[in-house]
Amino acid sequence: MLAASPMRAEESSHQTLVVRADPRTGRLVRSVVLTPAPAPKFQTKSAKDFSEMVDHAAKANDVDPLLVHSIIKVESDYNPYAISRKGAEGLMQLTPSTARMLGVANSFDPQQNIEAGVKYLKYLQRVYKDDRLALAAYNAGPGAVEKYKWIPPYPETQNYVYQVGKRYGEARKAAAENAPAPEPAAVAPPVPDNVEERHPKVEQFVDENGRLHLRTTQ
């Protein structure tokens, strides 16, 4: 897990002046109490916040960006600091071992996370030749898919494949409906039947030096 940078006490806590009566003497005693500062709230992100990163990584690996967005939505709901119960981290929920394998230095860096996640997804697509199995392996690990030769009978994995597939199908349908209609092809106007094709006539003539010439006449 990424360690937070150290902060000074006055930056990470609030000082509160407290005045109490000493129960033995009855005199007022002042003391300073340090209370932890409230944790910063995570600002909700959306697909458009990471669209450029997703498009770049998807294009580099020949993966549909709509599928990548569907995975991120189900995995982390676009929270770059998300951590699962099993320790998967970031937008595409990379496990520490997968992150190390892919050379990720910081799983909470959106660009590193997305680039590695898409690269790993493409690898699984090449191995299984089926997006359903690739998604199952992304969630449960390739070993589980190899063991059962299909989507493992784990409720979490089966629900994961269903949820990602459902969102991906909806995204593709919406993209198709919003795509601009193709422009009609240009069609040459018909030639009227009563129009005759006219070509210039060519005649030959020989000059006084005996050379043959060609010329057109109307």
| CB burial of residue 109 (10 Å; 0-12, 13-18, 19+) | middle
Which residue from 83, 84, 80 is spatially nearest to 53, judged by alpha carbons?
80
Would you say 89 and 82 are in contact if contact means Cβ atoms under 8 Å apart? yes
Strands (E), the chain: 13-21, 28-36, 201-206, 212-217
Phi, psi of 19 (to 5 degrees): -115, 120
Q: CB count, 10 Å around CB of 214?
A: 8
Does 89 participate in catalysis according to the annotation?
Answer: no
Identify the H or E element spanning 125. helix 110-128
Among the listed residues 10, 11, 52, 75, the single catalytic one is 75
| CB burial of residue 69 (10 Å; 0-12, 13-18, 19+) | buried
Active site residues: 75
